[in-house]
């Protein structure tokens, strides 16, 4: 019996030793500071600077106690919360899989120099980056990302590593983009229901009727008025429509239009006008324009759509954006349906 036990124990010990030696979480890698990409306390991160080799830079800064948890972008705009949250999650969860093979090291470093991105991470008690990531290309399997680390006092590491996030299949470089239009927060209407005073929509090149939603004199019911007449509509329908304006976003501020095409869009005929007035005196307008179709699309009745069925253009404060009809059709359908409802005015 003992003759069988000793070989088994020996095999197990050898296996454990091999795993420890080659595991990405091994003590040898962990002891090497050039592998310390992760940021344990992401709550301390106050600024992130991302720069690419085309001269584009995105700097996002934490805003203490922002009601929506938004950071600023390039000291000009609010930044997308989903994007900043994803970066912080990446900082915390990133791990090293293995060093880049010696035979591939020169090529990886060359790609980093020509097409990589630099990410500087600042914490609340640092005026210089506590960590700098140099992000390169994905691995051939697209399950890892080549990265190089620079630390204050230690300088830039000589060896790049393959990094990944446990449980995530894919590469990480796409999370670090620099396009300002892609980074911008997409919210146009954002508030509580009680902060809204009136909501008006005007169909200019679509079916429907222009009506205004507002609170009644007692302030406890939403009413709809058309040409000064109160409409007899169910309160649940009116409240549902009112609540839609608590959070309305464009898809992206990158309209994919040239400056000349954006000028033409601003001067073109409108499909819809939306206007929301708030109790604090703000008035927020959004103009919607049809987008030409990029392929043949048909409605549920089999009729060819004259416009793009997935997206429209929007203009907000003179800036052009793309919006999804998936988001806006449920909003616009309320006004589109008014003529078909057989509505009669009500004085109640």
SS (H, E, C) 317-343: CCEEEEEEHHHHHHHHHHHHCHHHHCC
Instruction: Summarize the confidence of residues 133-155 as an average pLDDT.
Output: 93
Residue 21's pLDDT is: 46
What per-residue confidence (pLDDT) applies to 146? 96
Write down the pLDDT at residue 303: 82
Q: What is the rounded average pLDDT of the residues 90-97?
A: 96
**Confidence class for position 19, pLDDT limits 50, 70, 90:** very low
Tell me, what's the pLDDT at 219?
83
Task: Specify the pLDDT at position 339.
Answer: 67
Q: Sorting pLDDT into bands at 50, 70 and 90, what band is 281? A: very high
Q: What integer pLDDT is reported at residue 30 of this predicted model?
A: 66
What confidence tier does 300 reach under pLDDT thresholds 50, 70, 90? confident
Least trusted range by pLDDT, from 25-29, 147-151, 155-159: 25-29
| Residues above pLDDT 90, as percent of the chain | 76
pTM over 0.75: yes
Q: Which one of 65-69, 121-125, 240-244 scores highest in mean pLDDT?
A: 240-244
Tokens of 337: 């349906």
Position 25 scores a pLDDT of 44
Confidence of residue 12 (pLDDT cuts 50, 70, 90): very low
pLDDT of residue 318: 95
What pLDDT is recorded for position 228? 86
């Amino acid at each position: 019996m003992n003759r069988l036990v000793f070989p088994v124990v020996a095999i197990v010990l050898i296996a454990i030793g091999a795993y420890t030696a080659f595991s990405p979480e091994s003590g040898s890698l962990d002891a090497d500071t050039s592998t310390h990409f992760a940021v344990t306390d992401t709550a301390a991160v106050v600024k992130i600077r991302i720069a690419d080799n085309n001269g584009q830079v995105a700097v996002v800064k934490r805003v203490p106690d922002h009601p929506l948890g938004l950071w600023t972008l390039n000291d000009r705009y609010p930044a997308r919360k989903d994007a900043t949250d994803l970066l912080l999650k990446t900082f915390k969860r990133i791990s090293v899989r293995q060093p880049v093979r010696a035979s591939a090291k020169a090529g990886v470093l060359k790609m980093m120099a020509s097409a990589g991105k630099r990410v500087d991470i600042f914490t609340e008690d640092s005026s210089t980056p506590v960590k700098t990531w140099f992000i390169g290309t994905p691995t051939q399997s697209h399950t890892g990302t080549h990265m190089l680390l620079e630390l204050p006092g230690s300088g830039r590491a000589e060896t790049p590593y393959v990094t990944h996030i446990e449980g995530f299949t894919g590469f990480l470089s796409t999370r670090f983009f620099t396009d300002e239009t892609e980074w911008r927060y997409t919210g146009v209407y954002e508030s509580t229901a009680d902060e809204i005073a009136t909501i008006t929509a005007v169909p200019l090149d679509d079916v429907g009727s222009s009506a205004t939603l507002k609170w009644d004199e007692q302030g406890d019911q939403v009413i709809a008025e058309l040409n000064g007449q109160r409409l007899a509509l169910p309160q649940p329908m009116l409240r549902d429509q009112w609540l839609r304006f608590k959070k309305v976003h464009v898809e992206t501020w990158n309209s994919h239009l040239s400056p000349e095409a954006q000028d033409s869009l601003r001067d073109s005929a409108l499909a819809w006008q939306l206007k929301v007035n708030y109790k604090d005196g703000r008035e927020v307008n959004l103009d919607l324009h049809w987008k030409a179709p990029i392929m043949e699309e048909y409605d549920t009745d089999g009729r060819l759509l004259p416009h793009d069925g997935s997206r429209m253009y929007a203009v907000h404060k003179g800036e052009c954006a793309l919006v999804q009809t998936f988001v806006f059709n449920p909003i616009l359908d309320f006004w589109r349906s008014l003529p078909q409802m057989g509505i009669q005015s009500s004085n109640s």
